[in-house]
Amino acid sequence: MRYILVIPSIDIKHGKTVRVVQGIPELGSKEYGSDPVEMARIWRAENAKLLHIVDFDGAHEHNLTNLPIIREICQSVIIPVQFTGGIRSMHDVEAIMDTGISRLAVNTMAIENPELFMKVFEKYGPSKIVIALDIVNEELVMKGRTIKTGIKYKDFAKKMRQIGIERFICTDVMRNGILGGPNLTYSKEVADITDAKVTLSGGIRNKDELMDVQNLMPDKIDSVIVGRALYEKRFPCQKMWRVAESGIF
| 92 carries an active-site annotation | no
Cβ–Cβ under 8 Å, residues 190 and 179: no
Please give the helix or strand (H or E) that residue 84 lies within, else none.
strand 81-84
CA distances from 32 to 9, 41, 183, 232 (A): 12, 14, 25, 9
Residue 4 DSSP label: P
Cβ count near 247 (within 10 Å): 6
Rounded Cα gap, residues 225 and 134, in angstroms: 13
Of 127, 154, 125, the C-alpha closest to 140 is 154
Please give the helix or strand (H or E) that residue 109 lies within, else none.
helix 108-112
Rounded Cα gap, residues 60 and 144, in angstroms: 6
| 192 carries an active-site annotation | no
Please give the helix or strand (H or E) that residue 65 lies within, else none.
none
Rounded Cα gap, residues 9 and 65, in angstroms: 19
Phi, psi (5° rounding) for residue 131? Answer: -105, 130
Active site residue: 55, 92, 134, 172, which one? 134
Rounded Cα gap, residues 96 and 82, in angstroms: 11
Rounded Cα gap, residues 216 and 141, in angstroms: 25
Active site residue: 11, 55, 57, 172, which one? 11
**Which residue numbers are catalytic?**
11, 134
